[in-house]
Amino acid sequence: MKVTSIKEEGLSKIYQIIIPYSKVDKAIEVRLKEVALNAKIDGFRKGKVPVSIIKSRYETQVRGEVVEKQVSESIKNLFLEKKIRPAIQPKVDFEGKPLDEKDIKFKLSIEVFPEIKMIDFSNINLERLIANVKDMEVEKALKEIADGQKSFEPIKDKRKSKKGDAVLIDFKGKIDGEYFEGGSSENHQLELGSGQMIPGFEDQLVGLNINDEKELKVTFPDNYPNKKLSGKKSIFEVVIKNIMVSKKTSINEDLAKNMGFPDLRTLKESIKKQIEANYAKTSRNRMKRDLLDILSKQYNFDIPESMAENENKIIWERFEQDRKAGLLDDQDKGKTDSQLKKEYRLIAERRVRLGLLMQEVGSKNNISVDEDEVKNVIMQEARRYPGEEKKVLEFYKKNPEALNAVRGPIYEDKVIDFIIKNSAVSEKKVNSDQLFKETSNKVNKKSNKSKSGQLKGKKLLSKKSGNK
């Protein structure tokens, strides 16, 4: 094998590789003999088929197998010899026809991982914000829980419906004079002013009496998930079957028992622990962002262009989806595509660079993710869909990419925790307002956008549902 370097610019490399035909021819002869030993051809005993017949039947196939193996082995040997770590799948361009009876010549184009020199993490200064949970915060959360548990009872005195009431309705929706699938329901309880339905629906039900019938004229939003309905004008035939008023839920032992707790004290303790966990998570996320900002400044190594391009493509496609759905960040509004592409390109490069750094830190410190850790996360996800747990588990079982999407964040968090553990961390006591204020001020919305979507449960009749 003869290797000639054609290009070595940064992380991009091109080599010409020549494999002598004599080597290929010898390998073909060896392989044909192996085939001859096991070939079953009518008129001949196993292992007694003449070489000429084996060649006529199998030489083309064998030649292809041998060429593929020789090319693969030559690339592998090149990587070992030059200690190359390919960042992406190498590109092979043959010169001439590789199956001809002559030397195999091809160009190998690759991008390699950069060499990353580790800094002393003990020189990194981080601050952990500590916020204690006050009794008033527990009481506030408890009140919100009670408000969320509110129930409705029929009005005692006859009157018209008003915002805050719940109405029991039957409705049937039409578009262009035709009833459409998912546009009807019976005995549907709707709280007026909740924003559960599409714009204009609930407002038109204010000021009606029991047994009133009304046609509601509404238009589905342009960004409605069900594309068949988005932007469509519709008419809903609605009957008011009952009007109900909210019944205040008292904060007492009964509330606690209804929520599965033995008493109110235990419920409060549970709420306090949840708030503490939320504060700790917020503080950790803030510290993580600070750490990533520091690492981004400390490390400015070259990254594979193809990886940057792929990440940039993912980010821009997501941006286009958000723009189409009318979900642009305020900081993006009013900017030209040229400005936005430049900004998002920098974000893509930052993500790739930090991702490569996380991999390197993890590799050098033997950090890994075991299967139990992955299973725990998947089980947590499955519990979010009562009655659908089996489907969620099957989804991950059948989709390796989804599994990798779970494994990636776990690995990153373990690496982050390792760096934090080895950094100089000071603590600062703050109140909850300061904790969330300082956190929100640090957030770079663009650079911290989620890379992958998650399944989200939606009410069938919500504004963003695929059904009316």
Question: How do residues 60-90 score in pLDDT, each as one tens digit?
Answer: 888 899 999 999 999 999 999 999 999 989 9
Q: How is the chain split into domains, by residue range?
A: 2-111, 151-247, 262-442
Whole-number pLDDT of residue 451: 39
Mean pLDDT (whole number) for 246-275: 92
Please report where in the chains the tokens 């079953």 appear, as a residue: 40
The string of DSSP letters for 55-113 reads: HHHHHHHHHHHHHHHHHHHHHHHHHHHHT--BSS--EEEEES-TTSSS-EEEEEEEEBP
pLDDT for the residue 459 = 24
Residue 435: which region, alpha, beta or left (left: phi > 0; alpha: psi -120 to 50)?
A: alpha
31 near 23, Cβ under 8 Å?
Answer: no
Rounded to an integer, the average pLDDT of 252-269 is 93
Contact 409, 450 (CB under 8 A): no
First to last CA, the chain: 67
> What is the distance between the alpha carbons of residues 94 and 223, in angstroms, rounded to a whole number?
49
**Assigned CATH class of 151-247:** alpha beta
Indicate if the pLDDT at residue 453 is higher than 50. no
Instruction: Give the model confidence (pLDDT) of 214-224 as tens digits.
Output: 999 999 998 88
Q: Which residue is associated with the tokens 């390998």? A: 27
Cα atoms in the 13 Å half-sphere on the side-chain side of 126: 28
Give the separation between CA 36 and CA 54, rounded to whole angstroms. 6
Cβ–Cβ contacts within 10 Å for residue 371, how many?
9
- Output the six-digit token pair for 174: 């039409």
- Is the pLDDT at 457 greater than 60, yes or no? no
Tell me the CA distances in angstroms from 457 to 179, 308, 383, 399, 466, one per residue in order. 26, 33, 12, 20, 12
Percentage of residues in the chain having pLDDT higher than 90: 64
Single-letter amino acid code for the residue at 49: V
Would you place residue 334 in the very low, low, confident or very high pLDDT band (cuts 50, 70, 90)?
Answer: confident
Can you list the pairs that 19-24 forms with residues at least 24 positions away whose Cβ atoms lie under 8 Å? Answer: 19/70, 19/71, 19/74, 19/103, 19/104, 19/105, 20/103, 21/101, 21/102, 21/103, 21/104, 23/70, 24/66, 24/67, 24/70, 24/104
Residues 328 and 319: their CA atoms lie apart, in Å, by 8
pLDDT of residue 464 exceeding 80:
no
Could you tell me the CA-to-CA distances from 194 to 41, 166, 189, 329, 459 in Å, in that order?
Answer: 78, 9, 11, 25, 13
Position 6 scores a pLDDT of 93
117 pLDDT more than 80: yes
- Tokens 């199998």 identify what position? 58
User: Other CB atoms closer than 10 Å to residue 315's CB: what's the count?
Assistant: 21
Closest to 198 in 3D by CA, of 179, 212, 219: 219
Is the per-residue pLDDT at 324 higher than 90? no
Q: Which tens digits make up the pLDDT trace of 169-226?
A: 999 999 999 999 889 999 999 999 988 899 999 999 999 999 999 999 999 998 888 8
Contact 168, 186 (CB under 8 A): no
pLDDT at 438: 58
For the domain with range 2-111, which CATH number is right: 3.30.930.20, 3.40.50.300, 3.30.70.1050, 3.40.30.10? 3.30.70.1050
Tell me: pLDDT of 417 over 50.
Answer: yes
Average pLDDT, the chain: 87
pLDDT band per the 50, 70, 90 thresholds, residue 462? very low
pLDDT at 32 over 90: no
**Any idea which fold 262-442 has?**
Trigger factor, domain 2 (1.10.3120)
| Gap between the Cα atoms of 467 and 233, Å rounded | 15
Classified as helix, coil or strand, 320 is: helix
> pLDDT tens, 356-395?
999 999 999 999 999 999 999 999 988 888 888 888 889 9
pLDDT at residue 201 in the model: 95
pLDDT at 446 (0 to 100): 53
